[in-house]
Amino acid sequence: MSISTPGGPQRRPTVVSTGKKPAAGRPAADAKATGTKAGSGKPATPQRSGGGGKGPRKPITPVKVSQGRSWGPIALFVAVGVLATSIIGYGAWAAIRGSQSWEDKAADIQGIVNFRETDPESVSNSEHRAGKQEYKQSPPVGGPHNNTWQRCLGDVYDAPIAAEHALHSMEHGAVWLTYRPDLPAADVEKLASVIRNNDFMLMSPYEGLDKAVSIQAWGYQLKVDSADDPRIKEFATTLAQNASVEPGATCSAGNYTTGTGTEPRELQPSMGG
C-alpha cells in the first residue's frame, strides 16, 4: 500500500534483517568483552589459531646451539707463533754475538779472569829465558818462557809438561787446558774431546790445581769444578789464536817439543824434540 504525500507516493522504509536476535543488555557483546560464554558465566575456552578448538598450544622447546671452540687449530697457531718468535730471537742474538769482538765474547764468559786488565805487569814480559821460571799465577798465564814451545796441534799429553814450553805455545795463540792428575778417566776424555785435533790447543795434567780444571790463554784464565762445564769449550773456541801476542806464529812447525816432564828442554832453534 502506498501513502499519498504532497510529493507523491511514499514507500515504507525497508527493514533489513541481520539474522541476529536482539537481546536486552547485548549479551553477545558482553560475552566477547569478558571472555565468558554467553548466558553461562563460565570462562570461554581459548581457541587455537587456525581453528580446531583442541586446547592450548604446547610451548616449543628451544634448540641449544653448541658454542664450543675448536682448540686444535688455536694450539697449532700459538705453537707456530712461539717457534717463529724463538727463531727470530735466536737469529738476532746470533747476529749480535757474531758482531762482537773476541775480547767482548771473552768478557761474557762467567768466571773468566783477564790478567791483561787486573795485573798487566805479570803478563807483559814475553822474553825468552832458559831454565825454570817463577810465575805469579798457577798455572801461569804469561811472562818469560823457554825458547822452545810445546807442540799445540790439538795435542793431548798424558803427563805433565813444562810450563815454560806451554807458555811459549800460548804466546803463539794456543789455549792450554790443565786438569788434576786424579781426575777420573771419563772426565779426562771429556776434556780431550774439546782439544783433540784442534789447532792452537793442547792439554796436560797439572799438579797442585786448586780446581778440577783450569784453562788458560795468554793473559786469561778460567777455573771450574767440573769437566762437564760448558764454559771450558766456550773459552777454548773464543780465545784460541785470538789471544796471541805474536800474530802469525804457528803451532805446526819450528822449534817445538812433544816431550813431557816439568823440566824445560833446551833445544836449538828449528829443531824438534
Spell out the per-residue pLDDT of the chain, length 273, in tens. 444 445 555 555 554 555 555 555 555 445 444 555 544 555 555 555 544 555 667 667 665 555 566 777 777 777 777 776 767 765 554 555 568 999 999 999 999 999 999 999 999 999 999 999 999 999 999 999 999 999 999 999 999 999 999 999 999 999 999 999 999 999 999 999 999 999 999 999 999 999 999 999 999 999 999 999 999 999 999 999 999 999 999 998 889 999 999 999 987 654 444
| Residues in Cβ contact with 105 at an 8 Å cutoff, skipping those fewer than 6 apart | 97, 238
User: C-alpha distances in angstroms, 217 versus 40, 79, 181?
Assistant: 119, 44, 20
Asked if 223 contacts 213 with a C-beta cutoff of 8 angstroms, the reply is: yes
**Cα 161 to chain centroid, rounded:** 42
Task: Give ∠ CA 240-243-249 in degrees, rounded to 5.
Answer: 80
The sign of the torsion formed by the CA atoms of 189, 193, 199, 201 equals negative
Q: Establish how many alpha carbons lie within 13 A of residue 40's alpha carbon, considering only the half-sphere containing its beta carbon.
A: 9
**pLDDT score, position 42:** 54
In 3D, which of 183, 24, 199 has the Cα closest to residue 191? 183
Predicted confidence at residue 149, as pLDDT, reads 96
Which residue's entry shows cell 543488555?
25
Strand 220-224 relative to strand 3-5, pairing? unpaired
Alpha-carbon distance of 36 to 27, in angstroms, equals: 10
Q: Given this model, what pLDDT does residue 72 score? A: 77
Q: Are 48 and 56 in contact (CB under 8 A)?
A: yes
Q: Which amino acid makes up residue 227?
A: A
In the three-class reduction of DSSP (H, G, I as helix; E, B as strand; rest coil), residue 195 is classed as helix
Q: Is 223 left (phi over 0), alpha (psi -120 to 50) or beta?
A: beta
Q: What angle do CA 9, 11, 14 make, to 5 degrees?
A: 170
Instruction: Determine the Cα–Cα distance for residues 170 and 141; give it in Å rounded to an integer.
Output: 8
Residue 269's pLDDT is 58
Measure Cα distances from 197 to 124, 143, 155, 259 in Å. Answer: 30, 27, 7, 18
As given in the structure block, the three cell numbers for residue 251 are 803451532
Nearest alpha carbon to residue 218 among 253, 238, 242, 251: 242
pLDDT at 166: 98
pTM across the whole model = 0.65
Return the C-alpha cell found at 160.
Answer: 805433565
Three-state SS for 11-34 is CCCCCCCCCCCCCCCCHHHHHHHH
**Residue 182, all three cell numbers:** 786424579
